[in-house]
Amino acid sequence: MARYLTKKRRNIKKYKKSRNGHRRKGRSVKRHTVGKRRRMMVGGADFDFNVDADDLEKYMSHMDKYRSKLIINGIKKKDNKTAGFDKVTLVAYGFVLVTKMGTMFSSNNREEQINVFACYCNLHLNGIQPICYAIVRCPKSNCLDISQINTLNSNMDGRILFLFVDTRAKSNVTKLGIKKVSSNDYSAFEFTTRLSSDDDTYKILVSPNEISLTAFFNTVADGKFYLPDTDVKYDEPLLTSSGTKPRLDLAGLDSGGSGGVPLFM
């Protein structure tokens, strides 16, 4: 109900508060809720880093920065001529905190969305067990790629971390126990990455809420292969949103490029 106060020839319209609330107040609450939800995304509420396993396999075989290392380590397809993996499958994904050790230029506990892929080579254990795991990363809160650019994912960090379990290039995954960051507990792991760098060491902190990633790192830290009982798939909204992205066009890629933006990590 409107009331008018008359003072010095000025009419000032005031709104009497309603016991049932007001539509304007409702809209204000809604905006607050959306803002809060977006802040929660940074904490891992909404994962949206879409990466296609088939495209990743082709990408690693095509880009010289990986292909040359694959050749040196004797990782070839079943024809024994082409460098690369015969099969790549998604096994875990979620949010983590990442630190590259031993350098003053990298971020400390940088929040990243990561995908973990098992990479198979028929020349290794007849392709029954993965020869390594590829960890693909995005250091952003919004990582969904719906662009028409012929890259794997325009939001992807340029460096893929390769983790080996039982080969001569073993990554030596170590459990560091529980670490506390901003009053939250994380399981900490340290490992040496192969292929994509000169044996750099990374520390990854995993929240107990990230069930698949916790299971993955605990398993490989015990020197075992991590192979889920069922195929790991992204949530349905993620698959729907990525449907507009074209298949990776290798002809449109620069084989000597980074395929992403290196961020000193």
Residue 20's pLDDT is 53
Residue 8's pLDDT is 52
Phi, psi of 77 (to 5 degrees): -70, 175
Q: What is the DSSP string of 62-112?
A: HSHHHHHHHHHTT-B-TTSSSBS-SEEEEEEEEEEEEEETT-SSSPSSEEE
Residue 61's pLDDT is 86
Six token digits for residue 60: 């690693």
Does the pTM of the predicted model rise above 0.85?
no
Distance CA 239, CA 46 (A): 14
Residue 176's pLDDT is 93
User: What is the side-by-side strand order in the sheet with 87-100?
Assistant: 161-163, 132-138, 110-120, 87-100, 201-206, 184-192, 174-181
Residue 97's pLDDT is 95
Calculated CA dihedral for residues 201, 207, 208, 212, nearest 10 degrees: -70
Q: At what angle do helices 64-72 and 53-62 cross, to 10 degrees?
A: 80
Phi, psi of 207 (to 5 degrees): -70, 145
Residue 113's pLDDT is 95
Q: Using an 8 Å Cβ cutoff, are 21 and 45 in contact?
A: no
Residue 22 backbone class (left: φ over 0; alpha: ψ -120 to 50; beta: rest)? beta
pLDDT in tens, the chain (265 residues): 555 555 555 555 555 554 555 454 444 433 333 333 333 334 445 899 989 898 999 898 888 888 888 888 788 888 888 888 999 999 999 999 999 887 666 678 899 999 999 999 887 777 788 989 999 999 988 898 887 777 788 899 988 999 988 776 778 889 999 999 999 999 999 998 877 666 789 999 999 999 999 999 999 999 888 988 778 888 766 766 555 666 787 777 777 644 443 333 4
- Chain centroid offset of residue 46 CA: 12
Six token digits for residue 157: 């960090």
Six token digits for residue 103: 């350098």
Query: Residue 140 half-sphere exposure, CB side, CA atoms within 13 Å?
Result: 16
Q: Which residues contact 103 (CB under 8 A, 6 or more apart)?
A: 264
